Structure 1
């Protein structure tokens, strides 16, 4: 069927429904003369009169009534489907790619995503766990998750987690052979489990502060890892002292599996932030995700 026939059939149904060229033309957004011309053209192509015209009204002929019964439901189905598509379009959908450390993924993203994904079934979230400093622009991520102090200045950053602390812990078995340190300087006498950065390969210096006095300590030990969970596992096994995020070991501390030391030297600092380029226009789905992640942060 040609496009002209389709458009004219739709116009015919509108004229028959309204019983007036004037009202139908207003509904369709065309002039009355253009609509009248279109109806004459349709009748000429079909070779049969569809409308009876009087000075006061317009009504379908028998052929017009038959055509209404035949094509009317089809146009109603089309309109219903278009409405359904519009409703689907109004629902946020799409894939959001995030780059995150394993710590942020496990303790921030996954717990907050559970209710979000249930509420928005047409949104898919992909989390790429990378403990290095990923370039989210070149890697085509929609956003990344980092500690607030490590977010680049040209990014938009939104806090999605509470303040954090790094704490020094060891298993009770370890302290059967070593005394508990009272000052960060004493860490040089201990077997410390060091962390190597995946990106630039350097070892993390343990950072402390007390009453405004900051101190960075280069620790030494027999074991070096590049994953925080490995560091915790080794600490639990009694290998040595670990310097790890408090929220990842607080249950072990409460249960007595780990002993915390140097507590007064471990201040809190800004927690995890979701960040993305300031030139990027967030999609509706991304805006909803951002709101869900920053709530209760």
Structure 2
């Protein structure tokens, strides 16, 4: 019975953290009906309701919150100790979970990690594309990747790239019948492509600057996306101007498919950093991944 309780409590913890049977089922690789069956059995054995369910949400009850806050961290400590023991084997082993945005996974992380995977068959990676500012401790990621100015001060941060140049770009077809902008006033007359921020829900304000003065420019135009690749495609199609990092559009500029404008108004972004909690058990698997992706200049 005790073993059943532990397994079912692990399921409860995922549901409580995700606050959704749908997301928990996807994360655990189980059906929602199976999760509901497990929760009913656990609540019956404990004699108390752990989750409050409505048609739109799931949240822990008072008893569930106590279980989440007091038992959850202890089970995580047990998992960390088991990982530490398994880490004493001949080769790094275990799962390393990483959260980053899609283009960073494609262009920075995967090219560096692909080279080490065949050498370490017991190393497993899970990389999740997410534009939110993820609480990696709460969502049980081992590594987060964001620009340096977005990393919390209590995290260990490892640089992955130099500072990243930014560019305002449009296609030659777009400029065929429009003047090239040279100022913010000019830019306001153009069809600018927006990015919807996942965390706040607002549209990202372009972080421009000129002669030492920082300027937030709020783009206006026909198109708003919530990821960067469609912005690139829209600019290539002549549908507007986009504000993007050089790694996304530099090859298009060199090929003549896009034109960079107002370069003096585009300060670089701080370099990408991998970060993780300082209290995190530093396994050989984690150390291996960090070493593979770090910036070696």
Q: Please give the TM-score of this superposition, normalised by the length of structure 2.
A: 0.69
Paired residues in the alignment total: 212
In structure 2, the residue matched to 1:23 is: none
| CA distance in structure 2 between the aligned counterparts of 1:87 and 1:209, rounded to whole angstroms | 48
In structure 2, the residue matched to 1:42 is: none
Identify if the C-alpha distance between structure 1 residues 135 and 161 changes in structure 2 by more than 3 Å, giving closer, same or farther.
same
In structure 2, the residue matched to 1:91 is: 91
In structure 1, the residue matched to 2:9 is: none
- State the secondary structure of the residue aligned to 1:105: helix
CA displacement, residues 46-75 of structure 1 (integer Å, 9 cap, x when unaligned): xxxxxxxxxxxxxxxxxxxxxxxxxxxxxx
Shift of 1:155: 1.0
- Contact 2:87 2:93 survives alignment (8 Å): no
Shift of 1:118: 2.4
| CA distance in structure 1 between the aligned counterparts of 2:262 and 2:103, rounded to whole angstroms | 23
| CA distance in structure 1 between the aligned counterparts of 2:100 and 2:269, rounded to whole angstroms | 18
Shift of 1:130: 0.6
In structure 2, the residue matched to 1:287 is: 287
In structure 2, the residue matched to 1:119 is: 119
Superposition RMSD in Å: 1.6
Larger-Rg structure: 1
Identify if the C-alpha distance between structure 1 residues 276 and 239 changes in structure 2 by more than 3 Å, giving closer, same or farther.
same
- State the secondary structure of the residue aligned to 2:124: strand
Shift of 1:295: 4.2
| CA distance in structure 1 between the aligned counterparts of 2:242 and 2:289, rounded to whole angstroms | 34
Q: Please give the TM-score of this superposition, normalised by the length of structure 1.
A: 0.69
Matched, 1:234 2:234: yes
| CA distance in structure 2 between the aligned counterparts of 1:267 and 1:204, rounded to whole angstroms | 16
- State the secondary structure of the residue aligned to 2:257: coil
Shift of 1:251: 0.8
| CA distance in structure 2 between the aligned counterparts of 1:136 and 1:167, rounded to whole angstroms | 30
In structure 2, the residue matched to 1:171 is: 171
In structure 2, the residue matched to 1:215 is: 215
| CA distance in structure 1 between the aligned counterparts of 2:266 and 2:116, rounded to whole angstroms | 34
| CA distance in structure 1 between the aligned counterparts of 2:87 and 2:181, rounded to whole angstroms | 63
- State the secondary structure of the residue aligned to 1:269: coil
Q: Which runs of 5+ in 2 are unaligned?
A: 1-85
| CA distance in structure 2 between the aligned counterparts of 1:87 and 1:236, rounded to whole angstroms | 48
In structure 1, the residue matched to 2:24 is: none
- Contact 1:184 1:208 survives alignment (8 Å): no
Identify if the C-alpha distance between structure 1 residues 179 and 87 changes in structure 2 by more than 3 Å, giving closer, same or farther.
closer
- State the secondary structure of the residue aligned to 2:156: strand
| Worse-matched range after superposition: 222-231 or 206-215 | 206-215
Q: Which runs of 5+ in 1 are unaligned?
A: 1-85
